[in-house]
Chain A
């Protein structure tokens, strides 16, 4: 039992990271119907921005919360800019073309970020400095949780609540929902669709950057190709929950994180990468629109 609970704690921690990345996918998909393949690479950039920010501030010499938060903020701001630039210069020009052309562009951006990353940062893994001293806490019943896991959970929960507030309670959030419903109608109501799309990209990239830094806290080995697998899986998580649906992305991320950790714990670590996709296929066959998604009828 205690082993199961321990796995559950680890699974929820991983799942919240997947959920943070999945939110970016789901928001962009909800607004543009575009699978932003470069999103996983923005997550990778987040980890690297965090690394350079931490080195620049010398955060590892005297770890404290304020500096860790500053590192997080710098990474998030950096990726926000990257997200804006990607949208402006790669996706905007193909917005009126076919969806496939947009998808290939996204793949091109993804390859560009990966190979550009190899060029800039080097292909070999870098070590993320310890900006928080690791500590283990006993939760009772033989279950332990590290302070890094607590930070991951608290920060991601905070960001998700923040996103929920933005989407549901602010003017720009209302505009986002309107644009996702219909670009034309939103434009007729005086909403600047272009600005809302840019904002969505920036928001998604900021969340991915946070996920990158949080993962780097726990697994300090970072490299330019680290975004591919988590990116794919977070996307799968978004589809699992019902793509375009924000609570669905969080749910999908959690389901995926828990499923993965359980497979590693009880079956074999080698099947870790397959379980996500098996789960996906099973759920899509039962509920073709995802767990929380609504089925839409196709019109002639």
Chain B
């Protein structure tokens, strides 16, 4: 009952936010808001793999690419038909598009999750840096394959994807990944993941089934990366293999590390900061990326545990802070 109330409340809030932001913000600002949301989904999903379980994955862009192309292909070949049929029945476009978009995101997410399973399997044998390099290799292989498959546009890119995603849908994605991550962190499964991160050998000795948990983390993380990719595809209406290079994976890792490994609110905060930062630096455009990289280095030197460490910003934490301040 309480959960249903939460669900309805969040959806209503997102709907209002969507309608309001569309009137208030310019298309450029709206796009930044949406990109922030997509990056939040990516960062939190990678945090499930890197931050919760301590497995170093540096191929997140590969999962995102699979989700993006998978969901785009679904929409182009099936989803668009559904939508026009529903619209033929007299439903308005945003409502008619909802089931198709939801299905497309699911298809993209599942495709990425399957890949996550395949990448997670070698983690039975590989640890630490070796696993990292396998994930890197996987991401690059996906990119090269996309470049070489002509049906999905190859190097030219894939245009004409229906632009169904908006602030509302990105908000739904963010809410979903946050709910899953939060519930996971507070469950016994989450404790098992943290135990693997802190000391894998000890966790195994205590009877934690480390292999299946590691694969699980990869599957869930990859699923949401795929969803983020699907949102990205349906927002921009155009995909290009160059959006999913090694650099994209690095950006997401930077968000996770900057926010603090294992801190969900940290990932959210860092994703927003690192999405806004390059935009804010646009006026000094030649120096933009130089400043960005310098800030990354300085932040790592001064705060290697990330902005929040493993702490979380929660409502009760904020309330306690205020209580302390008022008492003082």
On chain B, the residues within 8 Å of A271 by CB distance are 144, 148
Interface size class of A (residues with CB under 8 A): 35 or more
Taking the closest CB of chain B, its distance from the CB of A83, in whole angstroms, is 16
Query: What are the residues of chain A within 8 A of B294 when measuring CB–CB?
Result: 108, 112
The answer to whether A277 touches B301, judged by C-beta atoms less than 8 angstroms apart, is no
Does A243 lie at the interface of the complex (its beta carbon under 8 Å from any beta carbon of B)? yes
Q: Is the CB of B296 within 8 A of A101?
A: no
Q: Is the CB of B140 within 8 A of A277?
A: yes
Contact: A107 with B144, CB < 8 Å? Answer: no
- A298/B129 in contact, CB under 8 A: no
Digitize B258-294: 1 where CB-to-A-CB distance is under 8 Å, 0 elsewhere: 1001000000000000000000000000110110111
Q: Are A107 and B254 in contact (CB under 8 A)?
A: yes
Q: Assess whether A104 is in contact with B144, with CB atoms less than 8 Å apart.
A: no
Contact across chains for B199 and A98 when beta carbons are under 8 A apart: no
Contact present for A105 and B144 (CB under 8 Å): no
User: Which residue in chain B gives the minimum CB-CB distance to A35?
Assistant: B129
Please give me the residue from chain B that is nearest to A109 by CB atom.
B297
Task: For residue B157, give the distance in angstroms from its CB to the closest CB of chain A.
Answer: 16
Instruction: Name the interface size band of chain B.
Output: 35 or more
Known: A107-B250, A115-B289, A273-B144. A300 touches B201 (CB 8 A): yes
Complex CA distance for A298 and B200, rounded to whole angstroms: 10
Kindly state whether residue A154 has any CB partner on chain B within 8 Å. no
Using A111-B296, A112-B294 as known contacts, say yes or no to A270 and B147 having CB atoms under 8 A apart. Answer: yes
The answer to whether A101 touches B133 (Cβ under 8 A) is no
CB distance from A115 to the nearest CB of B (A): 4
Answer whether residue A285 sits at the interface, using C-beta atoms and an 8 A cutoff: yes
Complex CA–CA separation, A93 to B137 (angstroms): 30
Report the Cα distance A228→B249, complex, angstroms: 14
Contacts of A112 in B (CB 8 A): 290, 293-294, 297
Which B residues lie within 8 Å of A289 (CB)?
Answer: 130
Nearest to A34 among chain B residues (CB) is B129
B141 touches A94 (CB 8 A): no
Interface string of A90-115 (1 = CB under 8 A from B): 10011001101110110111111011
Q: How far is the CB of B224 from chain A (nearest CB, A)?
A: 21
Which of B64-72, B119-127, B178-186 faces chain A?
A: B119-127
A281 on the B face (CB < 8 A)? yes
Q: A98-B304, A239-B130 are in contact. Are A274 and B297 (CB under 8 A)?
A: no
Chain A residues with CB below 8 A from B253, complex form: 104, 107
Chain B contacts to A: CB under 8 angstroms: 50, 56, 122, 125-127, 129-130, 132-134, 136-138, 140-141, 144-145, 147-148, 199-202, 205, 246, 250, 253-254, 257-258, 261, 286-287, 289-290, 292-294, 296-297, 300-301, 304-305
> Please, could you name 19 A-B residue pairs with CB atoms under 8 Å apart, sorted by A?
A94-B300, A94-B304, A97-B305, A98-B305, A100-B257, A105-B296, A105-B300, A105-B301, A107-B250, A107-B254, A111-B293, A114-B289, A115-B292, A119-B286, A232-B246, A273-B144, A277-B141, A280-B133, A281-B138
Q: Tell me the A residues contacting B by CB distance below 8 Å.
A: 29, 33, 35, 90, 93-94, 97-98, 100-102, 104-105, 107-112, 114-116, 118-119, 228, 232, 235-236, 239, 243, 268, 270-271, 273-274, 276-278, 280-281, 284-285, 288-289, 298-300
Q: A100-B56, A280-B134 are in contact. List 17 more A-B contacts (CB 8 A).
A: A35-B132, A97-B304, A98-B305, A100-B257, A100-B261, A105-B301, A107-B253, A110-B293, A111-B250, A111-B293, A114-B289, A119-B287, A232-B136, A270-B144, A280-B137, A300-B201, A300-B202
User: What 3 pairs between A and B have smallest CB-CB spacing?
Assistant: A277-B137, A97-B304, A101-B304
